[in-house]
Chains A and B, each alone.
Chain A
Amino acid sequence: MKAEHYSRELRELAGWQISIETYKLGDVYHCTISNADPGARFARADGATREEAEQKALEKAERFLRQTRRFTTG
């Protein structure tokens, strides 16, 4: 098999830059979400369509991102 419909997109979610990587393998779309910096994958989901996989992964990602606190450094 080969990965089909591979895509990678940068977007802002809950105040953070994220990367959305999606591809289709067989009948399943796989979506993973990474923070843009440092580039760690922290949410993923599968679906029958691109939209379903990405929607599910984005919902998880937003939940996790909202728990990330920012501190003052000055």
Chain B
Amino acid sequence: MSADSVSPVLVTTDWVAQHANDAAVRIVEVDVDTTAYDQGHVPGAAGWNWTTELCDTLVRDIAPAKKLEELLGKSGIDNSSTIVLYGDNNNWFAAWAFWQLKIYGHADVRIMDGGRKKWLAEGRELSTDKPAFAQKTYSARVPDLSLRAFLPEVQKAVNEKSAALVDVRSPQEFTGEILAPPGLPETCQRGGHIPGAKSIPWGKNCNDDGTFKSLDDLKALYGSQGVSGDGPVIAYCRIGERSSLTWFVMKYLLGFKNVRNYDGSWTEWGNLVGAQVEKP
């Protein structure tokens, strides 16, 4: 996607290279592989660990407001900062962080189109230094839960067809041929998908270089499955990070008004006693 010209929430690798030292901008790397940041990152970027910093480590939940405020404050971010997120796997967990920051009402948060993959492939500058930031004060807003779907809303969507369900996992996960992506631990008791869900794998949003596809391509992709944004949409995957990328595409690139990310995803639905499962 021609990022700068199309969407205010996407920036190019060039833009990041030019603004990495801008005091009003904080670049943050968030990876699936939490060791990737240590293998070299955008100079001056903070690194956030999704397994410890972007969740509640006791209860299964997103980061509590106080925890997020502390993370942002120690990253030198206040409410007026521009936050630019990027990461591995074409920005899976960068999108997860984006989603949480929007839940807590951060105004200016963006994603680096192409993520870590594009930055590396372009041979850009990397650093292994962990920058120190001047502490700032951050105040999270009341959570906007219109961006998040919980189990009862998904059950209602199934029973009353009150929302379009978009399963963004791979076709093999959708059909139940496998219970988790190859090489990763199986984290559910049953394979398949939520009844009525459409299969639109997250990877179809992206080009080979990791950037997002054009708006026309994205419109065609979702339109071909009858997902036009005219009504409510709920996206899900296995743990909610791939679906946060699809949520980002639908809400911020395509402009769908009512899109929620079901972060309980298949690790919730596929473990529920008595839940309906559709195959293939």
Contacts and interface: CB of A to CB of B under 8 A. Distances in A.
A30 B128 CA distance: 13
Interface string A40-51: 111110100000
Contacts of B173: 38
Nearest to B202: A38
Contacts of A6: 120-121, 123
A69 B36 contact: no
Interface of A: 1-4, 6, 8, 16, 18, 21, 23, 25-26, 30, 32-35, 37-44, 46, 61, 64-65, 68-74
A7 B119 CA distance: 13
A2 B178 contact: no
Contact of A65 (B40, B88, B128, B183): B183
Contacts of B279: 73
B32 A41 contact: yes
B237 to A, nearest CB: 8
A70 B177 contact: yes
Interface of B: 31-33, 35-36, 39-40, 88-90, 92, 117, 120-121, 123-128, 169-173, 175-184, 186, 191, 201-203, 242, 279-280
A30 B40 contact: yes
Contact of B40 (A18, A25, A64): A25
Nearest to A34: B89
Contact of B242 (A30, A32, A38): A38
Nearest to A19: B117
A4 B213 CA distance: 27
A39 B241 CA distance: 13
Contact of B184 (A25, A30, A64, A70): A64
B183 A64 contact: yes
Contacts of A74: 280
A38 B92 CA distance: 11
B94 to A, nearest CB: 14
B89 A39 contact: yes
Given A3-B126, A23-B120, A73-B280, A37 B184 contact: no
B89 A41 contact: yes
Contacts of B88: 32, 41
A46 B32 CA distance: 17
B195 to A, nearest CB: 15
Nearest to B129: A1
Contacts of B177: 70-73
B183 A35 contact: yes
Nearest to A4: B123
Contacts of B191: 71, 73
Contact of A3 (B36, B123, B183): B123
B179 A69 contact: yes
A20 B198 CA distance: 30
A20 to B, nearest CB: 13
A71 B179 CA distance: 9
B214 to A, nearest CB: 20
Contacts of B35: 44
Contact of A38 (B117, B120, B181): B181
21 contacts: A1-B126, A1-B128, A2-B124, A3-B126, A16-B182, A21-B117, A21-B120, A26-B128, A34-B89, A35-B182, A37-B203, A38-B169, A40-B183, A41-B33, A42-B181, A68-B182, A68-B183, A69-B179, A69-B186, A71-B176, A71-B178
